[in-house]
Amino acid sequence: MGLLEYKTPAANTETVLYTCPDFNRATMFASMTNGGTTIVTPPLYDNVSNIEYEGENTDISVQDTRPYATHFSPDGLRCYVMGTDTNTVYQYSLSTPWDITTMAYASKSYFISQEGVASAVFFKDDGTKMFVLGTTNDTVYEYTLSVAWDVSTASYSTFSKYIGTEEGAPRGLFFKPDGTKMYVIGTGSDSIYSYTLNTAWSISSAVYDSLNFSVNSQEAAPTSIAIDSTGTKLLMIGQLENTIFRYELSTPWNISTASYSGDSILIDEEPACTSLSVKPDGLRCFVGGIGTDSIYQYNINNQEVAPTGAEIEGWIMDKGETLPVIQEQKVFKVILEANETITSVAYTLSEGQSLVVKSNTSTVTFHANGQEVAI
């Protein structure tokens, strides 16, 4: 099996080289560049039935016996758990990013005094704001953290949004990465509701879009959702079916255009699933629940990529590899002809950026101002 190699550049004029002699097994894809911004579409959102339990979990019951929601910092070094038994957000540290076997309580927490039963927690991507959803008052509350990602420094901003008109039993909360959209899912109507924040990450500016989508045909007690960075793929989990269901949105971020893909996977480890968190690169996800008071870790199985006549988009990676962080990284789309296979991919950080894809029969260069690298 070919492994993807990444060589860190010493300077901007150096070459970042990717090689992979066998692209038949892959776990990472990227969509085309949209408006100059690279949008990553993880394979988890393309085929949720492809995940597997890694045999790793963490018990949260020492802090709370009803850990209802989880949220991870983007670097995977912190995890936050919303405990409904104590109505408190607990902070945990991971010595190895995204590995919950290295997760330990950081002795930091924040009690939610505004709400009788808090069911979900979500953080702004820079860790300076926290949002908590409550089921008693059917309200989303906004908090400010004086020290980013340190939940013990949180304070109520006095801003909130009542969502009880739409959902009388709210359970899950999710925000678009730029903070301009908010989504709430609940067990009262078994539906997802969409809100627009006219000022990014300001809950007081949230307005209901009059858009919703019912998941009742799949789950009668939905508790948590996750949406990919393109706004076109959505995952939902609930505590009755204990299954992750995958949906597709024909219009990005418009929840009313969602439809069930028919793709799902049963979570055997937890009998009452209440939370779902997905690693940003889509190679790992985490499911928590109040049946075992634990968080479980799942990985992505290798996916088969047809070696001939296939349509390939973006970086293709072997299981366990990590997408290199490159500020101006580009993505590609190649449609392979019959009997054609990709043999190498090269990316250069020289002027203009260049991406070169080579197959056994041809070479395609994207953003050709860059220098092609001999393989």
The whole-number pLDDT of residue 347 equals 43
Superfamily covering domain 43-300: TolB, C-terminal domain (2.120.10.30)
Say whether pLDDT at 20 is over 80: no
Alpha carbons 273 and 290: distance in angstroms, whole number: 7
In the structure encoding, which two tokens stand for residue 97, read together? 């990013």
Average pLDDT over residues 10-20: 30
The pLDDT tens digits of the residues spanning 123-176 come to: 999 999 999 999 999 999 999 999 999 999 999 999 999 999 999 999 999 999
Percent of the chain clearing pLDDT 90 (strictly above):
62
Say whether pLDDT at 306 is over 90: no
Q: Which residues pair with 197 in a beta bridge?
A: 206
Q: Mean pLDDT for the chain?
A: 77
The whole-number pLDDT of residue 224 equals 98
Average pLDDT over residues 213-236: 95
Alpha carbons 360 and 340: distance in angstroms, whole number: 6
- Length of the chain equals 375
Cα 306 to Cα 313, 338, 345: the distances in Å are 13, 11, 17
The whole-number pLDDT of residue 196 equals 98
The whole-number pLDDT of residue 250 equals 95
Alpha carbons 39 and 182: distance in angstroms, whole number: 19
Alpha carbons 183 and 361: distance in angstroms, whole number: 47
- Residue 96 exposed, middle or buried by CB count within 10 Å (0-12, 13-18, 19+): exposed
In the structure encoding, which two tokens stand for residue 250, read together? 């024909």
- DSSP of 104-144: EEEEEEEE--S-SSEEEEEE-TTSSEEEEEETTTTEEEEEE
Average pLDDT over residues 245-261: 96
Name the most confidently modeled range: 97-101, 195-199, 363-367.
195-199
The whole-number pLDDT of residue 296 equals 97
Question: Could you state, in order of their start, the residue ranges of all structural domains in the chain?
Answer: 15-27+305-366, 43-300
Say whether pLDDT at 362 is over 90: no
Say whether pLDDT at 63 is over 50: yes
The pLDDT tens digits of the residues spanning 31-43 come to: 222 222 233 334 5
- DSSP of 179-229: SSEEEEEETTTTEEEEEEESSTT-GGGEEEEEEEEE-TTT-SSEEEEEE-T
Name the most confidently modeled range: 1-15, 264-278, 332-346, 355-369.
264-278
CB atoms within 10 A of CB 163: 23
Those residues whose C-beta lies under 8 Å from the C-beta of residue 55, and which sit 6 or more positions away, are: none
The pLDDT tens digits of the residues spanning 182-191 come to: 999 999 999 9
Average pLDDT over residues 8-28: 29
Average pLDDT over residues 266-273: 96
Alpha carbons 110 and 325: distance in angstroms, whole number: 33
> Please, which pLDDT band fits residue 15 given cuts at 50, 70 and 90?
very low
